[in-house]
Amino acid sequence: NADMRGIFSALLVSYNEDGSINEKGVREIVRHNIDNMKVDGLYVGGSTGENFMLSTEEKKRIFEIAKDAAKNEIKLIAQVGSINVYESVELAKFATELGYDAISAVTPFYYKFSFNEIKDYYNTIIDSVDNRLIIYSIPFLTGVDMSVEQFGELFENEKIIGVKFTAADFYLLERLRKAYPNHLIYAGFDEMMLPATVLGVDGAIGSTFNVNGIRARQIFDLAKEGKIEEAREIQHITNDLISAILSNGLYATLKELLKLSGVDAGYCRKPMALTTDAQVEEAKNIFDKYVK
Ligand code: NGF
């Protein structure tokens, strides 16, 4: 599974003001990530794509557009997780037929599912397709925390090849790295990429790589080479950028920054609000300072 290592942008999706998908915009975001951010791959249908607010048909359409625009130039991961596991299976089959290199699924959320139910969810999804699966663990949004041993139980299924680790628990990250040296671990918090890389992650999946992909790769490569001080300098600039983005509204600001780079990134989808004039103004300042 070494082919899946590297820097993956969590794909932003361009929506029109009425919430419909802006296909031209999505294509431009995909190309910007490939041509200008030089990413190794895209994570399609994640939190960053505002995926959990979409219909099944819309999710499929985004998988299709991303695949078509990426033209086999990079690796593609399709996030198919949903608390409707039947939808997840349908999406897993769809993405696999499109040629996605792997699928991923968020831990089922909202209800307090038992670990055995979570395990059954993952096995049901991946056993329905001839593909590989990456667990999407994001406890601060899902409330689902899993132990080293529970990850091991999921990894007993050979088609479950790794985890996207969006957590600040570096003790757990280190324990996972030691216990499962041959599974893929992706760092999920861009602002903590350097410590995660020092602990040996295989790659990173992040929203801010849509605008900061070049610096993200520098941090990753420098850390792998042991050039920690140089990597830290770039992480400092990156985190100045990320904290400015977070203060101004994460996805809305990323979209404004893309627009300033000439990419038709559109709007967020309800219930997320449309961008205010003040947010647009602040995005210009952020762009001039860190992105231009
Ligand atoms: O946006 C979130 C959740 N997390 C992303 C990333 O882990 C999510 C992270 O890049 C993702 O990959 C996806 O599913 O789309 C952060 O946005 C970033 O580190 C800033 O905090 O809040």
- Mean residue pLDDT of the chain comes to 97
Q: What mean pLDDT is predicted for residues 36-48?
A: 98
Tokens of 78: 């399709």
Whole-number pLDDT of residue 286: 98
- Phi and psi, residue 102, nearest 5°: -160, 160
Kindly state if the Cβ of 235 falls inside 6 Å of ligand 1: no
CA–CA distance, 202 with 171 (Å, rounded to integer): 17
CA of 276 to the centre of ligand 1 (A): 22
Q: Phi then psi for 8, rounded to 5 degrees?
A: -120, 125
CA distances from 64 to 32, 58, 158 (A): 17, 10, 27
| 230 CA → ligand 1 middle, Å | 24
Q: How far is the CA of 242 from the centre of ligand 1 (A)?
A: 11
Give CB contacts under 8 A, 24+ apart, made by 32-38: 32/210, 32/258, 32/261, 32/263, 33/9, 33/74, 33/209, 33/210, 33/213, 34/70, 34/73, 34/74, 36/213, 36/261, 37/9, 37/209, 37/210, 37/211, 37/212, 37/213, 37/214, 38/213, 38/214, 38/217
Compute φ and ψ for 167, nearest 5 degrees.
-155, 160
Minimum-distance ligand 1 atom for the alpha carbon of 8? 12
Nearest to 166 by CA among 148, 182, 186: 186
Q: Is the CB of 249 under 6 A from ligand 1?
A: no
Is the C-beta atom of 45 inside 6 A of ligand 1? no
User: Average pLDDT for residues 15-20, to the nearest whole number?
Assistant: 97
Q: Does residue 67 carry a catalytic annotation? A: no
> Does 253 sit in the ligand 1 pocket, CB within 6 Å?
no
Q: What is the mean pLDDT of residues 56-69?
A: 98
pLDDT at 243: 98
Residue 136 Cα: closest atom of ligand 1? 14
Measured in Å, residue 10 CA sits from the centre of ligand 1 at: 7
Q: Which of 136, 186, 267, 290 is catalytic?
A: 136
How many Å apart are CA 161 and CA 275, to the nearest integer? Answer: 38
pLDDT computed for residue 117 by the predictor: 98
Predicted local distance difference test score (pLDDT) of residue 77:
98
- Alpha carbon distance 214, 220 (integer Å): 10
**Per-residue pLDDT tens for 217-267?**
999 999 999 999 999 999 999 999 999 999 999 999 999 999 999 999 999
Mean pLDDT in residue range 77-103: 98
Q: Is 206 in the pocket of ligand 1 (CB under 6 A)?
A: yes
Q: Which residues make beta-bridge pairs with 164? A: 136, 186
The pLDDT confidence band at residue 182, using thresholds 50, 70 and 90, is very high
Residue 118 pLDDT class (50, 70, 90 cuts)? very high
171 part of the active site: no
Contact indicator for 221, 209 with CB cutoff of 8 Å: no
Query: Ligand 1, residues 11, 37, 47: which to mutate, most atoms within 8 A of Cβ?
Result: 47
**Is this structure's pTM higher than 0.95?**
yes
pLDDT tens-place string over residues 205-219? 999 999 999 999 999
